[in-house]
Amino acid sequence: MRPTTFYDAYVFDLDGTIYLGDELLPGASDLVQTLRERGKLVRFLSNNPTRDPAMYADKLARLGLPTPVADIANTLVTTTRWLGEHHPDAVLFVLGEEPLCRALREAGFRLSEDPAEIDVVVASYDRTFDYRKLQIAFDALWFHRRAVLIQTNPDRFCPFPGGRGEPDCAAITAAIEACTGVTCAVSLGKPSPLMLAEALRGHDLDPSRCLMVGDRLHTDIQMALDAGMDSALVLTGESTRDDVAARPPDQRPTWVVERIDHLLPEGRTNQRS
């Protein structure tokens, strides 16, 4: 089955939904261009904290889908905004990569590796994670007992083309929790509704007239369910039909499609791709 009418707004996951690796997925260009031509709000979300929105905009442009930076939000955006609202004067220790560190510094935060002055430990996707960094987090949280632990996203691994993957933020968070006994206070990526709020910021929209589209049941689809929004699982990424069938009926996506342009109402495809 596919929708019979258009929604007012569409929020798309990126990797595994719009593209995989360095190629647009079949039907993605046709769908997005059709929605834009009809004046629908189109926004993009990602849990990947190793790129900023400008980097995503550059990639989409290279793939033939030019997109304003303002139409893209990821965990760099939500983490920076949440810290600004809840811990504006905090000294941060970031277990993450340069785009996240740069975004936080540009927002006015001071980053430190001195456990005695760290207020917030920010766990993230960090391919330079080592024992030294774990010790700093341990000292700030367990020994000095002054810091709180947050994470940019709850993903256990990041999928790659060909079925491979890399350990993601949840692995870093788990290591810190295991040695300190401290529980992560907040997760700022999908499925947190904060991500949808960021994507739709500035627009007064009825959630029932919005659609969240993604390839992961436990992040993209769960976030939509928690926000009271319709959802669509596209079978071009991680989750499968068997995964859907294994969930209780009230925890399943509204739509399940083989390719993303099947979200266009019947007979509305422009046949560009």
- The catalytic residues are 13, 15
- The angle subtended at Cα 207 by Cα 45 and Cα 10, nearest 5°, is 40
Helices (H), the chain: 28-37, 53-62, 75-86, 98-106, 131-138, 169-180, 193-199, 222-227, 241-245
- What lies within 8 Å, CB to CB, of 39 at 6+ separation is none
Could you tell me if 254 and 221 are in contact, meaning their C-beta atoms sit under 8 angstroms apart?
no
CA distance 27 to 268: 13
DSSP category for residue 17 = T
Q: Rounded to 10 degrees, what is the CA torsion of 234, 188, 53, 64?
A: 0
